[in-house]
Amino acid sequence: MRHELDHRAMINKNCLRRGCGRATVALEELSQELSVKKQKLKDDNARATLYYKLIEECGPGDLATLGSGNNHAWEKILSLQDASFLVSFRHRQFPKVETAARELDFPIARLMIKALIACGWKYKELAGSKTRLLEQLSRFVDIQKLAQGEIIKIVNDIPHMPPREQRCSKSNGNKRKSTSPQPSTKKQRNSMKEQNVKFQYGENERMGDASCVLKYISTEGISEPASVPGIETTDCLKLPTSLQAESTTIISDDDNVEDNYGSNNGPQLLMYPYLGKKQAQVEAQDLKRLCNNKFLNDNLIGCYIRFLEDHLDRTNKEAANWVFFFNTYFYTTLTDRPNEGPINFKRVQNWTKGVDIFSHDYIVVPINESMHWYAAIICNLPYLQGVSKMAPRLNDMIESQNKANPYNDHPTAKVQDPVIITFDSLNGDRSHTVRKLRQYLAEEAKSKKGIGINTDLIAGLKAESLPMQSNFSDCAISAYVCAISLTTFAMNKNK
Amino acid sequence: MAAENDFNNPTPASEPPAVEHLNIKVTDNNNEVFFKIKRSTQLKKLMDAFCERQGKQMSTVRFLFDGTRVRPEDTPDTLEMADGDTLEVHQEQIGG
């Protein structure tokens, strides 16, 4: 895909180098030299001009999002004026696409340079060149470093690219390209792929904790706030100020021109995952809550839970099927001033539409109660009597048993017994929580599966030897740690 | 308390003719407000209107549909909402 562009850019560049006034002559010369039909060369040239226009209007990233190649309609139809129109239209209508394109700017610029190198250009020649292409690329790539054979992003450092073997002179390079362009195309495609993958997942595949999320933001520019677990004494988390401005996903600014109700300066939202379902939303002002001694709010917890869920799904699909995450509003809604009975089942009845919670080994319930965060995890529901007849999985719960000590009313809990464990850094008595969740499970079984379950079989445990909070503001962080250890545990369970 | 709000926006001529209005109930468990909204209208308008009516700030409330957080740019279409569906309004949760 990129190859086509670079090939043409090369040709065009060559023309310009020979003097803009003599572009036509150069074109003819070139066509003889390459023994290509003149008309084709002209077409190529025209298309390259169009690419230039796009790059000038916004950046190389646009080419990647639009896609370049012979068969795309936009290339054939678009005139130069249309190009700028297209860009402004997209700016208004599809801010997300635009953001994505901006993020691709640098990698594409780097790819283009690499392609030129592969065609036989030398780093110094490129750095000294005054063509339109290079002028535009210099917006994204440090030209001075380029002369020394490094491709460096203007703002951030990127991994150093080892200088390629220097090729022969440029005209030879051209010929070589025209005769055997395939290898370099392949190479570029591969590296393109690599970069795309890196863009989607960043580096957190390799790291399991939340600190990578921050790194992920700052390196990839994808909006996502997070807190780092275990931080108790560090200073305020310093998010780069540029990050907040750049990574904010601007939404809902399209058809608001005639919007009489809302102002355009509504809250700025960061979304996680960047694309996809069930996005968690964090507002710019929530980020202040990541500072030391601040209380966390539902947006931050929700975002982190969503991150864990997403991470588990990406790294271990099988384990992801065993774990179900409720959001932070579930327990609040369930227990919010019930009209009849102890819980408000009707209000959460639809929340599990399309989900059979009884098929999940672990159900995570983040709880906010009286300005305090803690978590409950409902374990082993599939093994509850009468719920399902599925053969028990080989299940190694030793780890969690070590962690948990039984409440008094259920002194012995076996490995596969259904159990509700509460994780609370204030070590409070949460038997009422367990009771309400049991009632919920009973109602849920009745309404979704039409069966009655004996909730006495579901034990209640309190996790012990948890890190306890020494102040009033760290409870959410402990809840995070629990959630992390659970997902790690679930991931390792089948190994 | 109940009120009717009608969001009739100027529709571009190219819009498919089958424009359908939905009645959506928005409740924070104290108040119920009914909105009439086009299937293709962003729910941001509804949220803004609700907040304005209740004197609340957008940043302190969360809108949920069947337990899933609603994004401002969602529309009844994208959420597959039906006539008479309810949006729940939750307060911001804070804890330490």
Tell me the three state secondary structure of residue A323: strand
Backbone angles phi, psi at B67, to 5 degrees: 80, -5
Q: What is the 3-state secondary structure (H, E, C) of A68-116?
A: CCCCCHHHHHCCHHHHHHHHHHHHHHCHHHHHHHHHHHHHHHHHHHHHH
Would an 8 Å CB–CB cutoff place B15 in contact with chain A? Answer: no
The beta-carbon neighbor of B72 closest among A251, A258, A280 is A251
What would the mean pLDDT of A314-337 be, rounded to a whole number? 90
What DSSP character marks residue A326?
Answer: -
Give CB contacts under 8 A, 24+ apart, made by A358-362.
A358/A382, A358/A384, A358/A387, A358/A388, A358/A444, A358/A445, A358/A448, A358/A449, A359/A388, A360/A321, A360/A322, A360/A323, A360/A324, A361/A322, A361/A323, A361/A393, A361/A395, A361/A490, A362/A322, A362/A323, A362/A324, A362/A486, A362/A490
Counted residue by residue, chain B has a size of 96
CB contact under 8 A, B62 and A258: no
Q: Percent of chain A at pLDDT above 90? A: 12
pLDDT at A154: 53
List the single residue in A271, A294, A329 with the smallest CB-CB distance to B90.
Answer: A329
Which pLDDT score, from 0 to 100, does residue A293 have? Answer: 81
Contacts of residue A353 in chain B, CB cutoff 8 Å? 66
Domain boundary among A119, A137, A165: A119
Nearest CA in chain B to A283: B59
Q: Which amino acid is at A461?
A: L
Q: Is residue B74 part of a domain?
A: yes
* Chain B residues close to A302, C-beta within 8 Å: 69
Do A302 and B71 lie within an 8 Å CB cutoff? no
- Residue-level pLDDT at A38: 52
DSSP tag of A214: H
Q: Does residue A60 have a cis bond before it (omega within 30 degrees)?
A: no
| pLDDT confidence of residue B25 | 94
Q: Buried b vs exposed e over A418-437: b needs ≥16 C-beta within 10 Å? A: bbbbbbbbeeeebeebbebb
Flag whether pLDDT at A478 surpasses 80: no
Question: What's A153's DSSP letter?
Answer: B
**Beta pairing partners, B67:** none
B33 lies in a domain? Answer: yes
CA distances from A3 to A40, A67, A73, A74 (A): 16, 12, 18, 18
Number of domains in chain A: 2
**Does A444 or A249 have the greater pLDDT score?**
A444
Structural domain that includes position B60: 19-89
DSSP helix/strand/coil, A483: helix
Residues of chain B neighbouring A305 (CB-CB closer than 8 A): none
| Angstroms from B26 CA to nearest CA on chain A | 13
Rounded Cα distance between A56 and B45, Å, is 36
**Is the model's pLDDT at A359 over the cut of 80?**
yes
Residue in A with minimal Cα distance to B6: A261
| A277 within domain boundaries | no
More confident residue, A141 or A457: A457
The tally of domains found in chain B comes to: 1
Question: In which band, very low, low, confident or very high, does the pLDDT at A322 lie, cut at 50, 70 and 90?
Answer: confident
Read off the pLDDT of residues A68-98 as tens digits, 9 standing for 90 and up. Answer: 433 344 444 445 555 555 556 666 666 666 6
The answer to whether residue B59 neighbours chain A at the CB level (below 8 Å) is: yes
Most confident listed range (A80-84, A146-150, A244-248, A269-273): A269-273
pLDDT for the residue A277: 79
Average of per-residue pLDDT across A26-42: 50
Which residues, in sequence order, are CB contacts of A43 under 8 Å at separation 6+? none
Task: Look at residue B96 and tell me if it is in a domain.
Answer: no
Q: What is the mean pLDDT of chain A?
A: 62
Domain-embedded: residue A322:
yes
- Determine the Cα–Cα distance for residues A229 and A300; give it in Å rounded to an integer: 12
Report the gap between the CA of A452 and the closest CA in chain B (Å): 24
User: A282 in a domain, yes or no?
Assistant: no
B29/A336 Cβ within 8 A: yes
Q: Say yes or no: ipTM exceeds 0.95.
A: no
Place A482 in a pLDDT band, splitting at 50, 70 and 90.
low
Tell me whether residue A31 is in a domain: yes
Long-range contacts of range A269-276, CB-CB < 8 Å, 24 or more positions apart?
Answer: A269/B71, A269/B72, A270/A223, A270/A224, A270/A225, A270/A303, A271/A223, A271/A224, A271/B71, A272/A223, A272/A224, A272/A225, A272/A303, A272/A306, A272/A307, A272/A310, A273/A224, A273/A306, A273/A310, A274/A222, A274/A223, A274/A224, A274/A249, A276/A310
pLDDT of residue A338: 75
A328 and A290 in contact (C-beta within 8 Å)? no
* Contact assessment for residue B18 and residue B39, using Cβ atoms and an 8 Å cutoff: no
Those residues whose C-beta lies under 8 Å from the C-beta of residue A375, and which sit 6 or more positions away, are A364, A365, A366, A367, A422, A423, A424, A479, A482, A483
The answer to whether residue A468 sits within a structural domain is yes
User: Domain for residue B75, yes or no?
Assistant: yes
* Residue A383: band (very low, low, confident or very high) from pLDDT cuts 50, 70, 90: confident
Looking at A89, A119, A149, which one is the last position of a domain? A119
Q: B48 vs chain A: nearest CA distance in angstroms? A: 5
Winning range, highest mean pLDDT, from A91-105, A145-159, B46-60 = B46-60
Residue of B nearest to A426 (CA): B96
pLDDT surpasses 80 at A123: no
The minimum CA-CA distance between B93 and chain A, rounded to whole Å, is 5
Residue A297 CA to residue A40 CA, distance in Å, equals 61
**The residue to which tokens 């796009």 are assigned:** A54
How distant, in Å, are the alpha carbons of A203, A390, A480 from that of A420? 34, 21, 17
Residue at B8 is within a domain: no
Q: Is residue A444 part of a domain?
A: yes
Strand ranges in A193-274 using DSSP code E only, listed in sequence order: 269-272
- Residue B94 has its nearest CB partner, among A258, A297, A302, at A297
Q: Is the dihedral of CA A64, A66, A72, A75 positive or negative?
A: negative
Determine which of B45, B50, B92, B93 to mutate to test the interface with A (most A C-beta atoms within 10 Å).
Answer: B93
Phi–psi pair at A165, nearest 5 degrees: -60, 130
Of A154-168, A224-238, A476-490, B17-31, the poorest mean pLDDT is in A224-238
What's the residue count for chain A? 495
Convert the pLDDT of each residue in A435-475 to its tens digit.
999 999 999 999 998 988 888 889 998 887 777 776 766 66
**Amino acid occupying residue A238:** K
Residue A342 has what pLDDT? 86
Which residue in the set A281, A296, A348 is minimally distant from B67, CB to CB? A348
Give pLDDT, residue A237. Answer: 35
- Residue A357 sits in which domain range? 291-396+413-491
B13 falls within a domain: no
Whichever domain contains B25, its CATH number is 3.10.20.90
B44 interaction partners in chain A (CB closer than 8 Å): 252, 262, 266
Q: What DSSP designation does A260 have?
A: S
- pLDDT beyond 80 at B38: yes
- Is the pLDDT confidence value at B48 over 80? yes
- List the structure tokens of A187: 């190479």
Label residue A136 by pLDDT band (50, 70, 90): low
Q: What is the pLDDT of residue B84?
A: 92
Q: Across the interface, which of B47, B59, B67 has its CB nearest the CB of A330?
A: B67
Tell me the pLDDT tens digit for each residue of A7-17: 444 544 443 44
Q: Shortest CB distance from A261 goes to which of B52, B62, B64? A: B52
Pairing state between β A323-325 and B32-38:
unpaired
pLDDT at position A153 is 57
Count A/B contacts: CB-CB distance under 8 Å.
102
Q: Is residue A336 part of a domain?
A: yes
* Nearest 10 degrees: Cα torsion A407, A412, A415, A420: -20
